[in-house]
Amino acid sequence: MFDRMVRRSIFAVLGAATAAPFGALNRFRVQGRSHLDGLPRTNVLFLANHLTYFFDVIALHHAIASGRASHLTGLRSPAGLSFIAARETMQSGALPRMFAMGGAVLVKRTWKEGAERVHRPADPDDVRRIGEALRGGWLISFPQGTTRAGAPVRRSAALLALEHRPIIVPTRLTGFDRAFERAGVTLRSTGHDLGVRFGAPFQVTGDESPDALTAHIAAALGLPHTSIASDPGRPHTSVASDLGLPRAHRAEAHAPVLHLRHARRRRAPHAARL
């Protein structure tokens, strides 16, 4: 309860602080918000392209809470809304640490440590915390893992979907890297179209490979993607060993376990293109 009160307080401040830069100095628009109607209160994963360290998450809070840049975003957004962020980024200063208190699930990158390229399985504690966040509400993730333009969707996003089987909402962000500083909180210029577009939700349920699901997510976001085939220097490991799961769970996770289907909702889904 206390944790959720802290989240609401932080995004009440951030919502009020960004209402004018988003809605008055720029043009904030949300499309496809009807796709959120009827979604369950838990186990929903928003996968979005990544443009800025901080404003992407704030924009999604505005879009999910009311569909506009509002001073009341912190009070309207779901109390269980969390976001995945790199531990090294969110521990790099006082401002990132405060931002992380707004609901960050801090994880260790599996492919990068500082400026060094690495290949390592996900930390089991990170996987557990992600699962807890999904069981407790909605979760935002940026499957590119970086704000570099044109970066591919990383295979780890599909591995996590295989493990937790959420409803996935593909989400496209536009304009925030032109209006705001990529790695800071500075407004660079005004008069830009800032867009959040929610695509049709789908659920991971069985009989799909990690590479196929990665490609599906990338296509929904209009992005390139990585795979084992495109990264020959990385050994081919099972879903469970890539995630760093205990050995007892590996036999089940190694088997094909995915089907993709549109998430069932109380309202008929309206087709949308990202």
Token look-up 């376990």 returns 257
**For a pLDDT cut of 70, what percent of the chain falls above it?**
79
**272 domain residue, yes or no:** no
Task: Name the one residue in this structure whose structure tokens are 């660079």.
Answer: 188
In a domain, 163, yes or no: yes
For residue 268, being part of any structural domain is answered with no
The encoded tokens of residue 165 equal 């089987």
> Does residue 159 sit within a domain?
yes
Q: What is the DSSP letter of 180?
A: B
Domain-located, residue 223: yes
Residue 258, pLDDT above cutoff 60: no
Q: What is the dihedral of CA 165, 167, 168, 169, to 10 degrees?
A: -170
The tally of domains found in the chain comes to 1
CATH number at residue 67: 3.40.1130
In this structure, of 3-7, 13-17, 81-85, the range with the lowest mean pLDDT score is 3-7
| 6 — pLDDT class (breaks 50, 70, 90) | confident
Report, as an integer, the average pLDDT of 229-254: 38
Is residue 270 assigned to a domain?
A: no
Phi, psi of 225 (to 5 degrees): -150, 160
What's the whole-model pTM score? 0.82
Range of the domain at 18: 2-262
Note the pLDDT of residue 198: 98
- The pLDDT of residue 72: 79
Measured between alpha carbons, how far is 258 from 215 in angstroms, rounded to an integer?
A: 13
Residue 171 tokens, joined: 């989400």
Residue 35 pLDDT class (50, 70, 90 cuts): very high
pLDDT of residue 266: 43
The answer to the question of residue 184 being in a domain is yes
Residue 245 pLDDT more than 70? Answer: no
Q: For residues 255 and 85, which has the higher predicted lDDT (pLDDT)?
A: 85
- The answer, yes or no, to whether residue 17 has pLDDT greater than 70, is yes
pLDDT (0 to 100) of residue 49: 97
pLDDT tens per residue across span 130-182: 999 999 999 999 999 899 988 999 988 898 899 999 999 999 999 999 999 99
